[in-house]
Amino acid sequence: MNLAHIKAVVFDLDGTLIDSRLDFAAICDDLGWPHGTPLLEHIATLGPGAEADRAHQIIRRHENAGAAAAQWMPGAEACLLALIEKKLPLAILTRNMREATEHVLTRLQIPIELVLTREDCAAKPDPQGLHIIAERLRVPCQQMLYVGDYVFDLQVAANAGAASCLYLNGSNQHFLPQADYSIAHFNELQQAFLPHMA
């Protein structure tokens, strides 16, 4: 994995840096929607009204419960600290809501300051968030790596012109053809950067 051209790393949050044990099938069951329904995209089709309000409340309850239960993924914290020590700019781009995200950042003391949630920009796979991050970090998207565990993460990187890295979790290997790189453990990412950051 040659990452010599990468000058900044952006991470997905849930399912990548942290395991919040969010059960999307259970969320869909509570909403009465078919399993696999893209939650934010479907809510957007509802328009204002009681149904959308109810959906937001259910998702908010699940996200806050996930934030309270969240734990670091193996090796993720050590990887971030190593990259920070080497002065590599880092950011988080998540489809989660700000309230739950800030809870997780505080609880786990995640050492990343630039964090965009779905209240801050258009949700992935729209590239708006990565464009904002590129501007704030003063690093072009072409020199950024986006690390995530789902197809939206690979798509947002492609849409912004950034490189993508799929964090493998045992059930997402079918996304590999769309990823530029992949890791099964965060020590692989840490080791990929350190030779170029001495």
Average pLDDT in the 93-106 region?
96
Q: What is the pLDDT of residues 118-158, one digit of tens each?
A: 999 999 999 999 999 999 999 999 999 999 999 999 999 99
DSSP letter assigned to residue 21: -
**What are the residues whose beta carbons fall under 8 Å from the beta carbon of 65, sequence distance 6 or more?**
none
Burial class (CB in 10 A: 0-12, 13-18, 19+), 40: middle
Q: What is the pLDDT of residues 46-62, one digit of tens each?
A: 888 998 999 999 999 99
10 within 8 A of 146, measured Cβ to Cβ = yes
Q: Where are the domains of the chain?
A: 8-19+71-196, 24-69
CA dihedral 51, 65, 184, 160 (to 10 degrees): 40
Of the candidate CATH numbers 3.30.460.20, 3.40.50.450, 3.40.50.1000, 3.30.70.60, the domain formed by 8-19+71-196 belongs to 3.40.50.1000
Kindly report the pTM of this predicted structure.
0.91
